[in-house]
Structures are given as C-alpha cells and as structure tokens.
Amino acid sequence: MSEGGKDKDAFIAAMYGLDPDKLRQLRRIASGVTRCPECDAANPASERLCTKCHAKLYPAEEARLRDKRKAPRWKRD
C-alpha cells in the first residue's frame, strides 16, 4: 500500500477510534486483495507470502499470533 493509503487508514482509524491494523485487515478482507509490504505487488488476500518476491504479507499479524501462542492460557484474549 502506498504511503498515502497508510495515512488515509491512520486518519480513518483515529477518526472512528479503531486500531489501524484491524482496519487494514477489514480492508483486505473486503477487497480480497492485499499489497506486499516489500514490493507493493497485488496478491490474493488468502496468500501468506508474496507471489512476486516471497516476502511475508502479514508480518505484524504473524508476530501477534506467535506472541499469543507463547502467552499463558489465562493471559490470552
């Protein structure tokens, strides 16, 4: 996503009190397409790796899931 798109997401998230990451997830789900953070190539939302450069498409989400799995069961959301 271009810098302008990130600014727009941040503005909308702040305006409605949303988490910018959640807003990006919703936008991806609604459009069915996600952009690679490395090469900006369009990819189907179901892919985990970029079809062009093979970079991880959702590094922040994967890190959050990894941290959640490591947390004790009583600390999980």
Q: What is the pLDDT of residues 13-57, one digit of tens each?
A: 899 998 887 887 787 778 888 888 888 899 998 888 899 999 988
What element of type H or E holds 69? helix 59-70
Strand, helix or coil for residue 34: strand
What's the rounded mean pLDDT across residues 52-72?
A: 72
Q: Is 57 exposed, middle or buried (0-12, 13-18, 19+ CB in 10 A)?
A: buried
Whole-number pLDDT of residue 1? 46
For residues 38 and 69, the model is more confident at 38
